[in-house]
Amino acid sequence: MPRRAHNPEPARDIPPVALRHDIACNTGNADVFHNDTGYSSYREAAKICAHCPARTQCLEWALNTQQQHGFWGGMTAVDRQDELRKRRRQAARNHLLTRPA
Judged by the rule CB under 6 A, the positions of this chain that interact with ligand SF4 are: 17-18, 23-25, 33, 48-49, 52, 54-55, 58, 72-74
Residues 6+ apart with CB under 8 A from 23: 17, 52, 53, 54, 58
Nearer to ligand SF4, 37 or 49 (CB): 49
Q: What's the min distance (Å) between Cβ of 88 and ligand SF4?
A: 23
Classify residue 89 by burial, with Cβ atoms within 10 Å: 0-12, 13-18, 19+: exposed
Task: Name the residue nearer to ligand SF4 (CB basis): 51 or 95.
Answer: 51
